[in-house]
Amino acid sequence: MYFEIITEVRANFETVAGNFDQRLLTKVSPSFPPARLLRYDGNMPGNEVHVELNFLLFRQVWKSKIISFQKNEEHMVFVDEGTELPFFLSYWHHEHRVERKGQSSLIRDKVTFRTPLVITDYLMFPAMYLQFWSRKAKYRRYFRNLVFSEGGK
């Protein structure tokens, strides 16, 4: 299954690209299941991100590896792929893209996932989509507060 969520934030490209980091990840994580960041190496190829998801009755570890990174004057892109996934996922590919748009920036989350069964792909789609849709407000709030604290950059 594939989806893309596009969010415009009122912060310049340098600010957004420069702050796609551990702090941002903790701010945009979903409220359910609560996630605890166990490891964050960065956004460069070979770096890893490990998260523990708390489903109340049980916990699952999600590990991803950064497989590519690219940055120029107009965009920054990095991709993580799941290496150890919760039981309900069999494949995970997430492209994080930040694009310059005048004095603002576009954040594109491009997600491809699979579950063990095709039928559960369709059942999981709404939940996965909503998890990323909820990031729109979180991205906007995070970068609005960041720009405000930096004096309007």
Q: Is the pLDDT of residue 153 over 60?
A: no
Task: Write the pLDDT tens digit of every residue in 120-140.
Answer: 999 999 999 999 999 999 999
Distance CA(85)–CA(53), nearest Å, equals 11
**Residue 150 binned pLDDT confidence (cut-offs 50, 70, 90):** low
Distance CA(34)–CA(13), nearest Å, equals 29
Q: Is the pLDDT of residue 47 over 60?
A: yes
Cβ atoms of 108 and 84 closer than 8 Å = no
Distance CA(150)–CA(153), nearest Å, equals 6
Task: Write the pLDDT tens digit of every residue in 18-32.
Answer: 999 988 888 888 778
| Integer angstrom CA distances of residue 18 from 29, 37, 62, 72 | 19, 20, 25, 12
pLDDT number for residue 34: 84
Distance CA(141)–CA(7), nearest Å, equals 12
Total domains in the chain come to: 1
The pTM for the full model equals 0.89
pLDDT number for residue 65: 98
Structural domain for 143, as ranges? 2-149
Task: Write the pLDDT tens digit of every residue in 79-121.
Answer: 999 999 999 999 999 999 999 999 999 999 999 999 999 999 9
CATH code of residue 119: 3.30.530.20
